[in-house]
Structure 1
Amino acid sequence: MINQKPVREVMTVTDKQTLTPHYIRICLTAQPDTIANIATMTIGANNKVAIPIDKTQALDLEDKSSFVIRTYTHRGVDVEKQQIWIDFVAHGDEAPASGWATHAQVGDELGVMMKPKNKALCPETDHILLVGDATAIPVLGAILQDLPATTSGHCIIEVHDKEDEQDLPTEANMTMTWLHNADPMHGSQLVNAVKGLTLPTAGQSRFAYIASEFASVKAIRQYLKGEQQWSKDELYAFSYWKAGVAEDQSASARRAEKDAD
């Protein structure tokens, strides 16, 4: 059995890459046993990062007034290089995580908190539907990377513009659709794109993974469950953010929606 432990550590930036005009990858290093522990965990699972309010001061995870918490996922880990990497959507300095990533430099600190987890993001299935906006690229990329050649399906991702499209390798037989939306705060094309698909019928092995803004996730879930008769075991829907509200309020909305489901 894998002996996983919770992670709660201040990590240090070792590298920064601009993947697209609105996407930044930050590489972080930590203690060797921490990286080895993280390597046993599911790539793409939700975790927490502690973003320092004043990066000129040493980050203290015991001082909650010195940082803000946001939900992110680690996109990869390299035990030999002793680092993990996390991808950030760059959408201005107003959002704490975006602002931190945009101005991050080698040597800067970021708190990373993870719970032990090694459960697969998706069950084995013949047909899969992946839907998300730019915030979901890390998890959708992780899913695509692990899909076998026997799986087929659709992946729909909405990003700022064509320059923000990424190469997401997979062995599966996937139809990739990139949508462009320069103003996701005021609506999304994801719902209509899903409704335009010919989806696998009941009785077929199928699964949907939906991750985006709250209103889009809610509408797609209602469409799949209500009009298409997908069962709750055939889909996972999670909203990473809600237009016009901070993450703590968005989390409350997610919990309320889950309770009402």
Structure 2
Amino acid sequence: MSKPKKPPRPVHSATVVGTEMIAPDMIRVILGGDGLRALPELTHTDHYVKFKFGEVTRTYTVRWFDREANQMAIDFVIHGDTGLAGPWAARAQPGDEISFAGPGGKWRPSTDADLHLLVGDEAAIPAIAAALDSLPDDAAVRVFLEVASADHHQPLRETSRTEVTWVHRDEHVTADGKRLGYGEALTLAVMRAGLPVGVRADRVEAFVHGNADMVKPLRRYLFKQAGVPRERVSISGYWRTGMDEDGWQSSKFEFNAAMEAED
């Protein structure tokens, strides 16, 4: 079974205004230009765009969009010279131009949850940070974020009802001394924490995104063990270990269908 094709999204152009290192492995690129004026209202916190590098596209979440200033921020994970988008972002200078398709997106936190559970790795931090920005001060939020080490924390909006747990990959190893894979320590942290005492599962709303290999166990935990209704969970793999975006996107539909069949 192949993934149904969607109609093409409009293509826009943008110009680099500036950059900012927000973590040792993440750089924020701020874009401007007349091309942004054609964008619709961005009402979701998981809005994304697809940057065009020749015939290749790479998908990134919109961290924020300021219509009054006509600027948009995108946070890029960088791994040295590996990949296309990361190296471009690391070298980006004011005046550089780039085109992108989009935006897409469909999720934002609701107002009727007793607890918001936000879980992800570096790829999901922009969407989770945007969700935190959108929530009211009295919203109860539990956040679990996996990063390389304690040096890789990023500033987040927090209130007195926000509980953030940072999971550091360099601190988690197996009995034979091997580091856990991407998402494994994060999965364990979420499952060990469980839901707060007194919070009904049907009053929980969850956003769980990142490495696809953590999606399977967390999906099973949330649906089967914790009993959170499926319609109150946004869960999907942004990427998968050992695959570039083209490989992952071409197999994602089958991956998700297999999970559904297992359930």
Count of residue pairs brought into register by the alignment: 240
Q: Does 1:126 align with 2:114?
A: yes
Q: Shift in Å at residue 144 of structure 1? A: 0.8
Match of 2:186 among 185, 190, 202: 190
Match of 1:237 among 235, 241, 246: 235
Cα distance between partner residues in 2 of 1:131 and 1:221: 12
Contact 1:43 1:142 in 2 (8 A): yes
Cα distance between partner residues in 2 of 1:172 and 1:126: 15
Q: Shift in Å at residue 205 of structure 1? A: 1.1
Compared CA separation, residues 237 and 203, structure 1 to 2 (3 A): closer
- 1:187-239 per-residue CA deviation (whole Å, 9 max, x = no partner) reads 63111001111305545511110011010122111111122222211211111
Contact 1:146 1:170 in 2 (8 A): no
- Give the corresponding residue for 1:254: 252
Compared CA separation, residues 190 and 256, structure 1 to 2 (3 A): same
- Give the corresponding residue for 2:52: 50
Matches within 5 A, 1:1-261: 7-31=10-34, 34-35=36-37, 37-51=39-53, 66-115=54-103, 120-124=107-111, 125-171=113-159, 173-181=161-169, 188-200=184-196, 202=200, 204-260=202-258, 261=260
**TM-score scaled to structure 2, two decimals?**
0.82
- Give the corresponding residue for 1:54: none
Contact 1:147 1:172 in 2 (8 A): no
Q: Shift in Å at residue 120 of structure 1? A: 4.6
Output the aligned Cα RMSD.
2.3
Compared CA separation, residues 89 and 142, structure 1 to 2 (3 A): same
2:128 alignment partner, SS class: helix
Identity %: 30
Q: Shift in Å at residue 8 of structure 1? A: 1.2
Contact 1:214 1:241 in 2 (8 A): yes
Q: Shift in Å at residue 122 of structure 1? A: 2.5
Deviates most, 147-156 or 176-185: 176-185
Contact 1:148 1:172 in 2 (8 A): no
**TM-score scaled to structure 1, two decimals?**
0.83
Q: Partner amino acid for 1:48?
A: K
User: Any gaps of 5 or more consecutive residues in structure 2?
Assistant: 1-8, 171-178
- Give the corresponding residue for 1:55: none
Cα distance between partner residues in 1 of 2:131 and 2:183: 25
Deviates most, 251-260 or 214-223: 251-260
- Give the corresponding residue for 2:175: none
1:196 alignment partner, SS class: helix
Contact 2:16 2:95 in 1 (8 A): yes
Q: Shift in Å at residue 82 of structure 1? A: 2.3
1:166 alignment partner, SS class: coil
Q: Partner amino acid for 1:26?
A: V
- 1:35-73 per-residue CA deviation (whole Å, 9 max, x = no partner) reads 36344443431321113xxxxxxxxxxxxxx24211111
